[in-house]
Structure 1
Amino acid sequence: MPTSAQVSRPMTPLEWTMLLALATVWGGSFFFNAIAVRELPVFTVVVARVALAALLLFGLLKALGQSLPSDRRVWAAFFGMGLLNNAIPFSLIVWGQQSIASGVASILNASTPLFTVLLAHALTSDEKMTGNRLAGVVIGFVGVAVMIGLDAAQTLGNHVAAQLMCLAGAVSYALAGIFGRRFRAMGVAPLATATGQVVASSILLIPLMLVVDQPWTRPPPSPAAIGALIGVAALSTALAYVLYFRILATAGATNLLLVTFLIPVSAILLGILVLNEALLPKHLAGMALIGLGLAAIDGRPWQALRRLGAGGARPRGRGDLPSG
């Protein structure tokens, strides 16, 4: 698992690039899901997403001459990760979104890094809370709320049970990030970890889909819906989880789950670029706050400012002449 020095240091440019890429492919899932759920029930979309991703990743694993581990301990961990990272949060958030708006669900989902900071502080020895980290998470959370809009924020407190389900889903995601740290200690590579997790998720979710959705009773999906399922499986799941476990292995759970702040940013930017949606002042304000929060967590901008301040206020040496 990551060492204390690894998770306490600022992320490298490569890790930030992977985090931005992860936010982009996960943000794109909203587009694919919006197309697919017009024709297919929710759990059918979810199962297709993880099952197709499992096939794609397993094929890639074989093409690279690698294989999934056979150790029972590792497979128990795969099922634990599948439960915490897919089965539980997907089910809870889907249930919650039947009663609350997607904007409220997005705000509640953006609490994931806050839960991660608190839980990692309690459950790990090397991801302890710092003032910068906590302040950055709170600023980023406020930025998400501003970007999504006050209208959504004002409805917080309505449909309390549904909102608690979404919050429980965020807690599950946070626990998954902490739980997933063990795969590096087990010697499981990120690609094998991503494959094992979606295989386990598929096994867990297929029975739920068969009972709830009964897909055999529905008409076959259109080419557009099939294309959306392939997109969400290949990009927003298979590629996303390879990036997810690669970042987790080196940067830790707290840094990884900052992606929750960036997903609404990528979704809005994709909407502007692809769907010609308007860029509003609240979007710019929210993005600025999220950037400020990420800078606070990273720490390097503040260190640079402190160095500049220290350089401008350095003590006068003996050779310095007094100003007139």
Structure 2
Amino acid sequence: MSLRNWALLVFLGAIWGGSFFFARIAVAEITPLALVMFRVGIAAAVLQLWLAWRGPSFRLAFPMAGSFFALAILNNVIPFSLIFTGQTEIGAGLASVLNATTPFWTVILANMLTADEKLTWTKFAGIGLGIAGTAVMIGPGLLAGLGGPIWAKLALVGAAVSYALAFIFARRFKKVPAPIVATGQLTASTVIMIPLVLIIHGPHGLFEASLDVWAAVFALAVLATAFAYIIYFHILASAGATNTSLVTLIVPASAILLGTVFLSERLESSEIVGVGLIALGLVTIDGRIFRRR
């Protein structure tokens, strides 16, 4: 993977570092399915306005409408619903660790389903180091959250598997501009979620939330969804499914580092060790240093 793609991957991880925090705030007052609807709906509207202003034309998405609906189910509807539901019972720390298993599932499924992204020992070792680093970094917070119900943990694992399948499925959009793919996926997700939420919950009380919660919802939708997915699909088109999935290893580290830089939170020794293990895992997967030696 090129240095430019590594830089974009780290930047994407920094953006998604706050997504679990925003989600934890939002699910306190908004049901998980309604939160998914608001997240994808607001993000889709923002991207539609962006395309209308800057282009390219959204008409490029029409011939692949069916594929966009499939991508929406794998990359938004299923994982967002499972993550938000799981986070009603478990903390953000454990949720981020379980989400960090996404590259593990991606490399296994890519090895089975693709011809050009095969499993290597460096990938396997690097992903293992990354997951271990995430667990060490969360430390006591992870241990405190281990007592949650098993269904909530399985929901997060299911989300990771769904993300892995989405990474592989999205390879077919390589020749489509990233803003079109992001907009097509989120628009299809919105079309799915609106009737689903209305059937299950009805319209009553959907918009009854505090200003702090709505601020978290808009941050989740605009920054961590609309903008982030443009970067995501750009990396995926040039670096492949397995490499792009490594962003889930960066997310927990970026969340902690952002808190240290902007909120003056103290950086614990376990967090330093965890970030170091994640960095070592990414370097191992990249393999550039080992090849030079």
**Could you tell me the TM-score, scaled by structure 2's length?**
0.91
Give the counterpart of 2:270 among 251, 275, 282: 282
Q: Which amino acid in the other structure matches residue 196 of structure 1?
A: G
Deviation at 1:278, TM superposition (A): 1.9
- Structure 2 partner of 1:190: 178
The separation in 1 between residues aligned to 2:225 and 2:244, in whole angstroms, is: 16
- Structure 1 partner of 2:105: 115
The separation in 1 between residues aligned to 2:253 and 2:113, in whole angstroms, is: 30
Task: State yes or no: 1:137 paired with 2:127.
Answer: yes
- The 1:154/1:27 distance shift into structure 2, 3 A limit, reads closer
The separation in 2 between residues aligned to 1:38 and 1:92, in whole angstroms, is: 15
Deviation at 1:20, TM superposition (A): 1.2
Q: Which amino acid in the other structure matches residue 58 of structure 2?
A: L
Give the counterpart of 1:59 among 49, 52, 68: 49
Shifted more, 110-119 versus 46-55: the winner is: 46-55
Deviation at 1:38, TM superposition (A): 4.3
Structure 1, unaligned runs of 5 or more: 1-10, 307-324
- Structure 1 partner of 2:168: 178
Q: Name the % identity.
A: 46
The separation in 2 between residues aligned to 1:273 and 1:215, in whole angstroms, is: 41
Deviation at 1:35, TM superposition (A): 4.2
The separation in 2 between residues aligned to 1:157 and 1:228, in whole angstroms, is: 27
The separation in 2 between residues aligned to 1:79 and 1:45, in whole angstroms, is: 19
Is this contact kept in 2: 1:27–1:266, CA < 8 A? yes
- Structure 1 partner of 2:242: 254
Shifted more, 278-287 versus 142-151: the winner is: 142-151
Deviation at 1:101, TM superposition (A): 3.4
Structure 2, unaligned runs of 5 or more: none
The aligned runs of 1:38-187 (5 Å cut-off) are 38-69=28-59, 74-149=64-139, 152-153=142-143, 159-184=149-174, 187=175
Q: Which amino acid in the other structure matches residue 96 of structure 1?
A: G
- Structure 2 partner of 1:233: 221
Deviation at 1:36, TM superposition (A): 3.5
User: Aligned-pair RMSD on alpha carbons?
Assistant: 2.2
Shifted more, 35-44 versus 150-159: the winner is: 150-159
Q: Which amino acid in the other structure matches residue 214 of structure 2?
A: I
The separation in 2 between residues aligned to 1:211 and 1:202, in whole angstroms, is: 14
**Could you tell me the TM-score, scaled by structure 1's length?**
0.83
Secondary structure of the 1:98 match is coil
The separation in 1 between residues aligned to 2:24 and 2:146, in whole angstroms, is: 24
- The 1:219/1:117 distance shift into structure 2, 3 A limit, reads closer
Q: Which amino acid in the other structure matches residue 76 of structure 1?
A: G
State the structure with more CA Rg: 1
The separation in 2 between residues aligned to 1:234 and 1:281, in whole angstroms, is: 33
Is this contact kept in 1: 2:8–2:235, CA < 8 A? yes
Is this contact kept in 2: 1:44–1:215, CA < 8 A? no
CA deviation profile, 1:87-110 (whole Å, cap 9, x unmatched): 111222233333333322222111
Q: Which amino acid in the other structure matches residue 281 of structure 2?
A: G
Deviation at 1:15, TM superposition (A): 0.5
CA deviation profile, 1:224-277 (whole Å, cap 9, x unmatched): 433333222221111100001000000001000100001001111222233332
The separation in 2 between residues aligned to 1:92 and 1:257, in whole angstroms, is: 18
